[in-house]
C-alpha cells in the first residue's frame, strides 16, 4: 500500500533540530529522519523510546558465562581431566581461578556478537537488502525529515518552509 509523504531537506543539523521540535510542537507525526551523521539529541526531540539493547546485551553476556562454565566443566573435569602443573582436576570449584579469563572472554564474545546480530535483525539490515534512503544527498551533507500527509499538505508545506527547509518534495512511499 502506498501513502503520500512530504520530505523536507535541511542543510544544517541545528536547523533540523529546531524544525523537529517545531513540527512535534504542532503535533505532527515524523515518520523518519535521515542524516549523514548521528545528531545528538535527535531521538529525544523526535519522542522515540529508549533502546533496550543494553538489556539484551546483559542477557547475552549471561548466556556466554553459562556456556563457558558448562563447557569448561565438561571438557576439563568430566570428559578428559588432566594434571596440568600439579593442579587437581577433581572439581570445578578448585580450578575456577584458572578459568576466570575464559569465562570473561566468552561473556564478552557472546554479548558483542549476539548484540550486533540483534541490532541488524531489529533494524532489518540483512545482506543484499536494497537501501531505503530516499535521497542520496543525505549520505553526504543534507538532512531529510519525512512526514506522513493526512489531508494537510498545504499546512505541512507552510510549516516546513517556516522551519528553514531548503527543499520540499511530496512523494508516494510504499509501506
pLDDT the model gives residue 175 = 59
pLDDT the model gives residue 1 = 46
* CA–CA dist 168, 12 (Å, integer): 15
Asked, for residue 94, whether it belongs to a domain, the answer is yes
pTM beyond 0.75: no
CA distances from 48 to 32, 96, 102 (A): 11, 44, 38
Asked, for residue 128, whether it belongs to a domain, the answer is no
pLDDT the model gives residue 17 = 95
The number of domains in the chain is 2
* CATH assignment of the domain containing 11: 3.30.70.260
Domain that holds residue 156: 2-48+143-174
Share of the chain above pLDDT 70, in %: 95
Residue (of 42, 44, 48) closest to 16 by Cα position: 42
Q: Show the low-confidence residues of the chain (pLDDT under 50).
A: 1
Asked, for residue 63, whether it belongs to a domain, the answer is yes
Q: Are residues 40 and 73 in the same domain?
A: no
Q: Are residues 109 and 153 in the same domain?
A: no
Amino acid at each position: 500500500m502506498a501513502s503520500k509523504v512530504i520530505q523536507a531537506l535541511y542543510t544544517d543539523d541545528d536547523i533540523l533540530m529546531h524544525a523537529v521540535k517545531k513540527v512535534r510542537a504542532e503535533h505532527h507525526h515524523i515518520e523518519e529522519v535521515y542524516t549523514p551523521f548521528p545528531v545528538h539529541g535527535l531521538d529525544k526531540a523526535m519522542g522515540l523510546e529508549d533502546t533496550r539493547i543494553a538489556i539484551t546485551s546483559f542477557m547475552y553476556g549471561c548466556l556466554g558465562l553459562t556456556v563457558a562454565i558448562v563447557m569448561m566443566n565438561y571438557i576439563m573435569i568430566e570428559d578428559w581431566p588432566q594434571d596440568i602443573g600439579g593442579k587437581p582436576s577433581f572439581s570445578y570449584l578448585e580450578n575456577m581461578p584458572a578459568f576466570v579469563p575464559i569465562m570473561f572472554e566468552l561473556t564478552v564474545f557472546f554479548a558483542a556478537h549476539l548484540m550486533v546480530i540483534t541490532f541488524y535483525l531489529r533494524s532489518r539490515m540483512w545482506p543484499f537488502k536494497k537501501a531505503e534512503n530516499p535521497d542520496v544527498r543525505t549520505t553526504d551533507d543534507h538532512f531529510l525529515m519525512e512526514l506522513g500527509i493526512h489531508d494537510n499538505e498545504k499546512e505541512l508545506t507552510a510549516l516546513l518552509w517556516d522551519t528553514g527547509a531548503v527543499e520540499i518534495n511530496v512523494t508516494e512511499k510504499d509501506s
